[in-house]
């Protein structure tokens, strides 16, 4: 059982809200598309256009939005965790994002992170997240172009590159959700109650 039940509840609730948002919007889009398809006022060309928009374009944008929501909640949890665990801020890595909290994560989990798949999934996903925020997923102009191509090759069920833009697949979104849930749960239930007391 977690020593920080309030943080554990908030973390789980925030992730669940993002999932509910995704599922609700997906269902609403499906209903709206069905309305267009059954409409007597639209031509076949118009119906085909809206099928493409809802089934392809809007669906991709919904996955990206949810992907970014997952990441935002994860970074919030890591920040709050560093406070409740009283982790020495001077030990945090330079930079930002998930990598900044790597020393804390490693210390709390007490194992090599290369052997812990949820962290590996999240760490790789951070490159995709940065490409969405800074270059709208455009691989060729990303400063992390080589890393993104490597990640897509390694996790080809999670990500694809289409017309020079990296896309998260439905499987990739689910894998990220599960990995974040597992990582947060393990961090909150770790053996280290207060890392500031360790030498």
Mean per-residue pLDDT, 173-199: 74
pLDDT for 155-172, tens place per residue?
A: 999 999 999 999 999 999
Q: Which pLDDT score, from 0 to 100, does residue 132 have? A: 97
**pLDDT above 90: percentage of residues in the chain:** 68
Asked if the model's pLDDT at residue 193 lies above 60, the reply is no
Tell me, yes or no, if the pTM score tops 0.85.
yes
Mean pLDDT value across the chain: 89
3-state SS record for the chain:
CCCCHHHHHHHHHHHHHHHHHHHHHHHHHHHHHHHHHHCCCCCHHHHHHHHHHHHHHHHHHHHHHHHHHHHHHHHHHHHHHHHHCCCCHHHCCCCCCHHHHHHHHHHHHCCCHHHCHHHHHHHHHHHHHHHHHHHCCECCCCCCHHHHHHHHHHCCCCEEEECCEEEECHHHHHHHHHHHHHHHHHHHCCCCCCHHHCC
Q: Which pLDDT score, from 0 to 100, does residue 41 have? A: 94
Rounded to 5°, the CA angle 117-123-129 comes to 135
Residue 151, number of CB atoms within 10 A of its CB: 20
Q: Which pLDDT score, from 0 to 100, does residue 165 have? A: 97
Asked if the model's pLDDT at residue 192 lies above 60, the reply is no
Asked if the model's pLDDT at residue 197 lies above 70, the reply is no
Task: Indicate the pLDDT class of residue 96, thresholds 50, 70 and 90.
Answer: low
Mean per-residue pLDDT, 172-198: 77
Asked if the model's pLDDT at residue 63 lies above 80, the reply is yes
Asked if the model's pLDDT at residue 44 lies above 50, the reply is yes
Residue 3, number of CB atoms within 10 A of its CB: 13
Token duo for residue 3: 């020593």
Domain that holds residue 121: 5-197
Number of domains the chain contains:
1
Q: Could you give phi then psi for residue 51, rounded to 5 degrees?
A: -60, -45
Q: Which pLDDT score, from 0 to 100, does residue 179 have? A: 96
């Amino acid at each position: 059982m977690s020593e920080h039940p309030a943080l554990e509840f908030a973390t789980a609730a925030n992730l669940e809200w993002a999932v509910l948002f995704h599922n609700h919007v997906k269902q609403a889009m499906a209903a709206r598309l069905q309305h267009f398809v059954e409409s007597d006022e639209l031509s076949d060309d118009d119906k085909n256009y809206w099928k493409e928009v809802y089934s392809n374009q809007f669906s991709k944008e919904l996955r990206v939005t949810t992907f970014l929501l997952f990441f935002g909640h994860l970074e919030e949890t890591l920040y709050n965790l560093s406070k409740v665990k009283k982790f020495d801020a001077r030990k945090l890595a330079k930079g930002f994002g998930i990598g900044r909290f790597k020393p804390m994560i490693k210390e709390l989990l007490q194992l090599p992170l290369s052997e812990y798949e949820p962290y590996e999934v999240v760490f790789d996903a951070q490159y995709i997240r940065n490409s969405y925020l800074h270059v709208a997923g455009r691989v060729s102009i990303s400063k992390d172009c080589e890393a993104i191509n490597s990640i897509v090759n390694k996790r080809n069920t999670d990500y694809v590159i289409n017309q020079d833009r990296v896309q998260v697949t439905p499987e990739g979104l689910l894998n990220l959700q599960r990995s974040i849930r597992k990582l947060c749960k393990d961090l909150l239930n770790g053996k280290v109650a207060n890392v500031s007391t360790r030498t």
